[in-house]
Amino acid sequence: MSPGKIRSVLVAVTFVVAASSVSAQYDYSHRKSTAKFNVKKPNTNVKAEQIRNHFGFGGAMNWYLHDTIAADPGCKQSYGDAFLKYFEFCTPENEMKWDYVYQDSDEKLDQVWWKADTILNFCERNDIKVRGHNLFWNEDTCWIPPWAWSLPTKDLFKEAMKERIDTAMNYGLGRVVHWDIINEIIHGYSSPGVGGAKPAYNDLTLVKYSGDSNIFEWILTEARKIDKKSKFTINDYGLEGSSADCNLYIDRCSPFKDKFDIIGMEGHFDNYPNNCSRDNLNARVKQLVDGLGREVWFTEVDWKFDIRQSPDKIEELMRTAFSNKNVGGIVMWTWVKRHMWRDDLTCYFVDSLMEETETGKRWRDVRSEWRTKISGKSDDKGDFTFEGYQGKYRVIMDEDTAIVYLHPRDSLEILKDFSDPNAIRPVTKVKPDPISVVLSGSTIRLTATPDESRSLFLSTYSISGKLISRIPLNFVNGMATVAKLPSGCHIFRIGTANKDIYTGMGVSLR
């Protein structure tokens, strides 16, 4: 259904659409859904205003800037106000890292979490989703507390890792929706201070110091025991510009691809604008998704292009990501000029006085195209229907407000009802979609509603009924793949926490 073909009962339709021929070159139809609900009042004025996108528009946040920028003379706006103008997702830049909470100390001091609290509390107050960053950084020992990597035995180091998992995952439980579980799984240091090397697997920092060749799978397994809901990411740089790096990433992650949810393509584009092009990014995303069957996020975007290129490049990146059904979000890593991890970066949205740049303005202008605002009347049965971009909406009727969430595949969730209980409700049930689960090469075809497919698990039991394992299923384009199951005869079930959809018996996979 096109925006101009909303039901005739609607008297006014407003989509914010930029007069840009560029937009017409991209297809965003998969980002829209149809909402149909009943408000129990026929022929009543109803408004639906989108307040959050389903697609993730995010930025990094630094606790220190909360205290300094607001007090500085000459600043055009506070750091927090600027963040809210651009973003709906947040990645704490340093405040949740292992070395940071231990103050990068040679001694095992008390952990410092109040700085992360500053960020998470701000996000909770302002309806901002949080990506935990990061549980472990594999690239080098400089990202590990000195007291930990200097422990005398590998067993003690792994014990320190287990303590880190327990502490960090419990800290973020219910407060973060994503976790960068492993940062930079293909990279290492060729010598102290010289990064970017791609060492052999057994020379990777976490493998070498733990003495466990399966350390990454172990991390993911232990983290999932604590956090059953957040999406796990494996993050790395260089994927945006190198087919060879993508292949190495796929090779490293394939043994445990059923244990994580998101491919984190960091997107440090450096001074290579062609890497940020539509054709290149779509090719790299396809390569990664074909290899691992997981969605992609651009998790740490910045660059040092000619600053005159920056507005056009941010628009190209946004439109490429939003039009690609396998991309879930963009997180800008460097967006404030007065706080850049490299002085030569040019992608900032606000300058040193917190005044908006052309790049920041372009980001806001393009985003405004993907916000739906619509008004009209319910029909003679009280039904109201509209098509809009997926995400959270404020629905207003007779000066009363409800909050709904428009999910992909026309699924509508009521988050907050009108003051009259059950005043707003979806009119029709969402039809189940066909999905497939591939178990060691064998395909099982099922149907599930969108809500069910987001929370399906594969549970494996012994013949006597003892639970052996339980893993979440991650669907990309309707398909989830499980590389391996426990060996021997067993029973497996596919279903939600409360409902079994499929049961297989007597299966032996080795």
- Residue range 103-123, pLDDT digits in tens: 999 999 999 999 999 999 999
The DSSP output letter for 22 is T
Residue 138 has pLDDT above 90, yes or no: yes
Amino acid 67: pLDDT:
67
- Residue 299 has φ and ψ, to the nearest 5°, of -100, -15
Amino acid letter, 9: V
- Is the CB of residue 128 less than 8 Å from the CB of residue 87? yes
Fold topology of 59-368: TIM Barrel (3.20.20)
- Residue 228 has φ and ψ, to the nearest 5°, of -90, -15
Within 10 Å of residue 476's Cβ, how many Cβ atoms? 17
Residue 190 has pLDDT above 70, yes or no: no
Which of the four pLDDT bands, split at 50, 70 and 90, describes residue 14? very low
What's the whole-number mean pLDDT along residues 491-497? 82
In tens, the pLDDT along 473-486 reads 877 777 888 877 76
Which of the four pLDDT bands, split at 50, 70 and 90, describes residue 366? very high
The DSSP output letter for 422 is T
Residue 29 has pLDDT above 90, yes or no: yes
Fold topology of 3-53+373-426: Immunoglobulin-like (2.60.40)
Amino acid 223: pLDDT:
97
Establish how many alpha carbons lie within 13 A of residue 365's alpha carbon, considering only the half-sphere containing its beta carbon.
18
- pLDDT > 90 fraction of the chain, expressed in percent and rounded: 69
Residues 411, 415, 420, 421, CA torsion sign: positive
* Domain range list for the chain: 3-53+373-426, 59-368, 433-508
Residue 321 has pLDDT above 90, yes or no: yes
- Residue 383 burial (10 A CB sphere; 0-12, 13-18, 19+): middle
Query: Token match 């733990």: residue?
Result: 210
Q: Which residues contact 90 (CB under 8 A, 6 or more apart)?
A: 58, 59, 60, 61, 83, 119, 123, 128, 129, 130, 131
In three-state secondary structure terms, 439 is strand
